[in-house]
Amino acid sequence: MKINYLTKAKYDELVAELEVLKSEGRAEASKAIAEAREKGDLSENAEYDAAKDAQGLLELKINDMSKILINARVLNAEDLDTSQVRVLSTVKMKNTKTKKEFTYTLVSEAEADIAQKKISVTSPIGSSLLGKKVGDTADVKTPRGEMAFKILDISIKI
């Protein structure tokens, strides 16, 4: 069982999205299938096939989201400490080679968004940072080669 650590906001967002998919999404899929079915011979009806495929994809998405929520653990920022890097830690670090500084927040795969500087704990950088403390160096294996990041600061900013 894979545990998905989520913020309260992301958990609520996923619950709301799942409810919309289950109610409105399923209703729209059924309507599209019914309309396509009315157009005649199902063996040569591309609209019917497309509607059935869309329904299958919708059910797959509902199933995937349900699994995420079933295995979700909602994290509260007040309950987390900053002694070491954990899920929801915001980490300021410096590339030891280029001396460039970066700040990322470690989140679950469901919340990862590089544009918002949120990286997954399962990504190469994220997984190498877990458990590190200020002053430690995290060695990261990437497709471009080895990189090393010195941990400058750990905070919780949600």
Query: CA-to-CA distance for 35 and 33, rounded, in angstroms?
Result: 5
Q: What are phi and psi of 137, to 5 degrees?
A: -115, 130
Question: What confidence score (pLDDT) does residue 1 get?
Answer: 66
Tens digit of pLDDT at every position of the chain (158 positions): 677 788 888 899 999 999 999 999 999 999 988 888 887 766 677 888 888 899 999 999 999 999 989 988 887 777 777 889 988 899 999 999 999 999 999 988 888 899 999 999 989 999 999 999 999 999 998 888 899 999 999 998 76
Percent helix, strand and coil across the chain, each to the nearest 5: 45, 30, 25
Query: CA-to-CA distance for 72 and 7, rounded, in angstroms?
Result: 10
Residue ranges and CATH numbers for the domains of the chain are: 4-75 (1.10.287.180), 77-156 (3.10.50.30)
**CA of 59: how far to CAs of 26, 51, 66, 90, in Å?**
8, 12, 10, 35
- Helix H or strand E encompassing 32: helix 26-37
Question: What confidence score (pLDDT) does residue 81 get?
Answer: 76
Contact predicate 125/104, CB 8 Å: yes
Length of the chain: 158
SS3 3: coil
